[in-house]
């Protein structure tokens, strides 16, 4: 059963696998034409309390969802923008970032089917095209990255492993949003599909909110489940009309 919306909700939306379908290559995804307008309508309906919380960069979100512009957290909590007109605030560039980039480029250059996504504050190695080599690829990344610096974390997702600075995740982003003007006093509802979203689920539930899992991946935290990004979009499209009948 789908969760019934409340007027005091704050929505936190993962992107890949949640709002849009996955692709073999991170830039091979398709943005539905009506999605930017849907996000804008949700902002208006919920008093601006709609945020994108993703492994993508905030700059990517702004470009691909234009003209919609939302509060956002990118790179798994490493950068955050608490309001559409606020600046995006990143963590300092980790000292291990450039040495790791050079090492992974060298070590994975001849591994077919892999793609290294170079983000400003982290690196993600994708292997959706060659899932049979996933364990070996992830171990290679861990071997290369271990010892490069303090606080390096390896985040394993579906067909991807991301190397990032510890201490920041989607849960810490939700906690920051919930202390900000647009979100304070609201009930957080986090939608996500991957293991990287578990921190967001935890933070939302600890604040009295809901976790909505997308897709078949098992999780102990889901209060509700939607099957596909298409179902997510259909459900989100119905929220504004449903909320018109809800008394604040």
Q: What is the SS3 assignment for 95-122?
A: CCHHHHHHHHHHHHCCCCCCEEEECCCC
From the list 14, 169, 193, 197, the catalytic residue is: 14
* Sheet with 123-126: strands ordered across: 115-118, 123-126, 160-165, 152-157
The whole-number pLDDT of residue 92 equals: 87
Distance of alpha carbon 194 from its chain centroid, rounded? 9
**What gap in Å lies between CA 206 and CA 229, rounded to an integer?**
25
If you average pLDDT over residues 184-190, what whole number do you get? 97
User: pLDDT of 135-172, one tens digit each?
Assistant: 999 999 999 988 787 788 898 888 999 998 888 899 99
For the chain, list the domains and their CATH numbers. 9-91+168-244 (3.40.50.1000), 97-165 (3.30.70.1020)
Res 94 pLDDT > 90: no
pLDDT at residue 248 above 80?
Answer: no
For range 108-129, the mean pLDDT: 87
pLDDT of residue 1: 63
Give percent of the chain with pLDDT exceeding 90: 67
The pTM of this model reads 0.86
Interval 77-82 mean pLDDT: 95
Give residues with Cβ within 8 angstroms of 135, minimum separation 6: none
Query: What is residue 16's DSSP assignment?
Result: B
221 Cβ contact list (under 8 Å, min separation 6): 198, 201, 202, 205, 211, 213
Closest CA to 16 of 5, 34, 30: 30
Are 153 and 166 in contact by the 8 Å Cβ rule? The answer is yes
Q: Rounded mean pLDDT of the chain? A: 92
Q: Which of 14, 9, 10 is nearest to 169 (CA)?
A: 14
Residue 166 has a pLDDT of: 84
Comparing 116 with 81, which gets the higher pLDDT?
Answer: 81
Q: What pLDDT, on the 0 to 100 scale, is given for residue 29?
A: 87
Mean pLDDT of 23-32: 85
User: Is 14 a catalytic site residue?
Assistant: yes
Residue 247 has pLDDT above 60, yes or no: no
pLDDT band at 184 (very low <50, low <70, confident <90, very high): very high
246 pLDDT band (50/70/90 cuts)? low
């Amino acid at each position: 059963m789908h969760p019934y919306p409340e007027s005091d909700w704050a929505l936190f939306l993962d992107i890949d696998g949640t709002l849009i379908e996955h692709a073999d290559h991170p830039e091979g995804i398709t943005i539905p034409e009506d999605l930017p307008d849907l996000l804008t309508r949700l902002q208006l309906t919920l008093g601006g309390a709609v945020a994108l919380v993703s492994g993508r960069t905030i700059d990517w979100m702004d470009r691909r969802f234009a003209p919609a512009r939302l509060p956002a957290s990118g790179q798994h909590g490493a950068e955050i923008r608490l309001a559409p007109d606020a600046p995006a605030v990143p963590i300092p560039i980790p000292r291990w970032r450039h040495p790791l980039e050079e090492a992974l480029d060298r070590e994975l250059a001849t591994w077919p089917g892999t793609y290294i996504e170079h983000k400003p504050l982290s690196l993600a190695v994708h292997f959706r095209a060659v899932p049979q080599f996933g364990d070996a690829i992830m171990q290679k990344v861990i071997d290369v990255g271990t010892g490069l610096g303090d606080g390096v974390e390896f985040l394993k997702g579906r067909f991807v492993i991301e190397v990032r600075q510890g201490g920041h995740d989607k849960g810490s982003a939700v906690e920051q949003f919930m202390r900000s003007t647009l979100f304070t006093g609201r009930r957080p509802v986090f939608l996500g599909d991957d293991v990287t979203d578990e921190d967001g689920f935890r933070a939302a539930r600890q604040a009295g909110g809901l976790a909505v899992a997308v897709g078949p991946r098992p999780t102990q935290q889901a209060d509700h489940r939607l099957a596909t990004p298409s179902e997510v979009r259909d459900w989100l499209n119905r929220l504004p009309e449903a909320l018109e009948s809800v008394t604040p």
